[in-house]
Amino acid sequence: LFIDEIHRMSPVIEEILYPAMEDYELDIVIGEGPSARSVKVPVQRFTLIGATTRAGLLTSPLRARFGIVHRLDFYTEIDMLEIVNRSAGILKVPVHESAAEEIAKRSRGTPRVANRFLRRVGG
């Protein structure tokens, strides 16, 4: 399971995920008030990957439940140039090499930003 921008997840969803992450089961409440009952539903073992650029906004309980925390580096300018040229082909946007280099420089190491620039220049 991949959750992008995991720092934006609501506390209610976090609470639902905790038993799934720890015990591979969901705790479902059926009914309301005094007649409500809890049913534990097993879920298949899974790997949860949470992506964020704002790790400091994760709640401590959520952060503590991840076994591995890995920080990824931004792409280098050379890597970005390769990504820009590949994306230009996929998006069918003709791009001069000097323009591709400029896009690669200004993309802050992020392919999403480079693709946005390509779409702008490609019309």
Q: pLDDT tens digits, residue range 39-59? A: 999 999 999 999 998 999 999
Q: Are 87 and 118 in contact (CB under 8 A)?
A: yes
Tell whether pTM > 0.75: no
- Per the prediction, the chain carries an average pLDDT of 93
- Rounded to an integer, what distance in angstroms lies between the CA atom of residue 72 and that of residue 46? 22
Residue 123, pLDDT score:
64
Mean pLDDT of 62-78: 93
Q: What is the DSSP letter of 5?
A: T
Q: Calculate the alpha carbon distances from 101 to 7, 66, 78, 115 in Å.
A: 33, 38, 9, 13
Location of each CATH 1.10.8.60 domain in the chain: 77-122
Burial 110-119 (b: 16+ CB within 10 A, else e): ebeebbebbe
Residue 53, pLDDT score:
87
Q: pLDDT tens digits, residue range 88-103? A: 999 999 999 999 999 9
CATH topology of domain 77-122: Helicase, Ruva Protein; domain 3 (1.10.8)
Q: Calculate the alpha carbon distances from 70 to 5, 31, 65, 67, 77 in Å.
A: 15, 40, 14, 10, 22
